[in-house]
Structure 1
Amino acid sequence: MSLPTIDIDQARRLIEQGAVLVDIREADEHARERLPGARHNPLSRLAPVDAAGASAVIFHCRTGSRTAANGKRLAATVACEAYLLEGGIEAWKKAGLPIAIDRREPIEIMRQVQIVAGSLVLAGLALGLWVAPAFLAVSAFVGAGLAFAGISGWCGMARLLALMPWNRRPRRPAAAS
């Protein structure tokens, strides 16, 4: 059984009636930006949701894609009514609702990968066009690495970025969300 999707207004009404919000994004995403009061239950370590006393559970991710793709898995973690938040945290922000942001936390690793990979491809292209064609190999190497990451699920650049000092700070417990 998959879970029904609800919009922001329906979610707000359910929350007012005692529903629990559950964020299924990874720890780095949740640490940087989250819905106030949302519990954290990352998809990679999905555990049963303790919804004792809650009228329902509302799962969310960033855009709604991860929750939609994993509706059956999420349904198996609850013993009460459960829903998926349409549009995720992005729709919540678009509706002008409050978001808890901790700017001391680094941006999530995958965004860092996108920034570094995109910068390397552009630098390789520019250097290849204006300095020496051999620099085009940088763009080819990064492109091959991204293709490999997409196929295998293992990203060397993400592993390398995770070792950087800004990503190795001891994690502070998230403020009471």
Structure 2
Amino acid sequence: MLLHAANVERLVAADPDVRLVDVRTASEFETVRVPGSHNLPLDLLRRHRAQLRDVHDDPVVLICATGTRARQARGLLAEAGLGNVTVLDGGIGEWTANGHAVTRGRARWDLERQVRLTAGSVVLASVLASLRWPRWRWLAAFVGGGLAFAGLTNTCGLARVLRLLPYNRAGEPAPSRIGEVLGAGRSARS
């Protein structure tokens, strides 16, 4: 289920046990986040699926940049048997566009911008290299094909690779935080 920003705000006001879980990278979370939210990056959830079973009984709202990663996380939580999980429709972008409060930290590049820089740089470099070595044009074609595939499937292999870089993992929560954030009762809220 998708919830608009205003509905999420009302849900949190009505039920203090609602968990706001941001599944973006640690660096994205550090830059801007919904007040009271906790960071459990999507890749951390993927790597520690076994810990997701039987860890919560409160409603959870998943947040990411646009809603795509949050929907993927909802699928992981559903596979683990967790219910009462919704997604912030439009993600943090929609939240801020509608004027809802955010907590800002140190500015860092978001993952989408990193993908654009990396893909654009590889295409530019391979086109320039192809002026001397014609076979390099195939690298540009490969990246272009990857971007087209990413657009069609709404997934991005390059983004998955970039999420693994230390820059994007700086401050990533420990796997034990999964149970703590999604755990039962108010004691897990920090």
Deviation at 1:63, TM superposition (A): 0.8
CA offsets per residue over residues 112-167 of structure 1, 9 Å max, x none? Answer: 24213314434654x57xxx8227665542442565797994789849x937xxx3
Q: Distance in 2 between matches of 1:153 and 1:57?
A: 27
Query: Could you tell me which residue of structure 1 aligns to residue 12 of structure 2?
Result: 15
Name the SS of the counterpart of 2:142 in structure 1.
helix
> Conserved in 2, the CA contact under 8 Å of 1:36 and 1:100?
yes
AA of the residue aligned to 2:11? L
TM-score of the aligned structures, taking structure 2 as reference length? 0.61
Compared CA separation, residues 171 and 70, structure 1 to 2 (3 A):
closer
Aligned match for 1:102, one of 74, 84, 105 = 105
> Conserved in 1, the CA contact under 8 Å of 2:64 and 2:91?
yes
Aligned length: 161
TM-score of the aligned structures, taking structure 1 as reference length? 0.64
Greater Cα shift, 7-16 or 35-44: 35-44
Aligned match for 1:114, one of 103, 113, 116 = 116
> Conserved in 2, the CA contact under 8 Å of 1:34 and 1:89?
yes
Sequence identity, in percent?
Answer: 28
Give matches, 1:86-101, under 5 Å. 86-101=89-104
Q: Select the structure of larger CA radius of gyration.
A: 1
Query: As a proportion of its length, which structure holds more helix?
Result: 2
Tell me which of the two structures has the higher relative contact order, counting C-alpha pairs closer than 8 angstroms and 6 or more residues apart.
2
Q: Which runs of 5+ in 2 are unaligned?
A: 46-50, 151-155, 174-189
Compared CA separation, residues 143 and 98, structure 1 to 2 (3 A):
farther
Q: Distance in 2 between matches of 1:97 and 1:172?
A: 25
Name the SS of the counterpart of 1:134 in structure 2.
coil
Deviation at 1:34, TM superposition (A): 1.7
AA of the residue aligned to 2:70? T
Moved over 6 A (4+): 148-152, 154-157
CA offsets per residue over residues 54-80 of structure 1, 9 Å max, x none? Answer: 5x2211111112223443322456866
